[in-house]
Amino acid sequence: MKELTWSSLENLALPVKALFTGYLLVIGLGLLMSGGQIMLTHGMADGKLGLSMDDLVYSYYGDRGGSKLEAKLNGSMKEYAPGEARLDLIKWARAGAPEGEWESKIKPLTDQHCIACHANMPGLANVGDKDAMIKAAATDSGASITTLTRVSHIHLFGIAFIFFFVGLIFSFATGFNPIVKALLIFTPFMFLIIDIAAWWLTKMHPGFAWLVMAGGMGYSLASTVMIFSSLYQMCLKPFMAKKA
C-alpha cells in the first residue's frame, strides 16, 4: 500500500489528488466566469464591449456630467430598451426628472420595457418606483460608499479564502525556488488589497482607474500560474513519467 506523503504534489495519494484537482478545476472555471461577468457589467459601462479605463471611471467615479440612468441606458441596458423609449428616458433625466411627467410619460415606459426583470430579479433597481428613478436620474457619482463598503468586505473575505487554498495546494509544488514560490503565493493577496483600495481611490479621483486594472490582472495572473502548475504536477507529470 502506497504511503501517504505530503512532500510534493506528485507523491500525494490518489484521493487527495482528486480533491485538489477538483477544487482547482472548479476555481479556475469560477475565475473565468468572474471575468465574463466583469465584461458584461463594468465592461459595458461605456456602452462598448471590453473592459477599458473609461468603464472603470464610470463604474467607480461616475460620469459627473450625466446620470446613472443615462449611463445604464447607453451601456449595459442599451439592448433592452428600444431606441425611442431609451431617448425619452434620457431626455427626462437630462431635464431634471420632472415629477409631473412620471405618471403620464415615464412610468408607462418602465412598465412596458423594464419591470419584467427589475421587479423579479434580486439586486436590480426598482425602476417602477418614482423615487428610485428620480434618484437614478440624478448626477452619476459612481458607486456609493454603501455599495463600496459592502462589496469590499465580501471580496476581501471571500476571495481571500480562494487564494488561501490555491496557495496551500501550490505550496507542495516542486521545481520552484522557495523565494519565487513564496512570492507567487503572496502576490494574489497583495494585488487583492491593491484592487480594493483602488476602488476607493478611483471613487475620489478618476486618475486611479489604472490601479484597478493592475490589481485585477495581478492576482489573476499569479493565480493562473499556481493553478496550472499544480494541475500539471498532480496529473500530467506523473503520467508523462510513466510513459517515459
pLDDT in tens, 114-131: 777 776 666 667 777 777
pLDDT in tens, 154-210: 999 999 999 999 999 999 999 999 999 999 999 999 999 999 999 999 999 989 999
pLDDT in tens, 35-91: 888 887 776 666 667 778 878 887 888 776 667 777 777 777 777 777 788 888 888
Burial class (CB in 10 A: 0-12, 13-18, 19+), 36: exposed
- Which has more confidence, 146 or 67? 146
Q: 6 falls in which pLDDT band (50, 70, 90)?
A: low
Q: State how far the Cα of 53 lies from the Cα of 58, in Å rounded to an integer.
A: 9
Q: State how far the Cα of 6 lies from the Cα of 57, in Å rounded to an integer.
A: 46
As a dihedral over the C-alpha atoms of residue 178, residue 183, residue 188, residue 192, rounded to 10 degrees, the angle is 150
**Joined grid coordinates for residue 4:** 501517504
Residue 55 amino acid letter = D
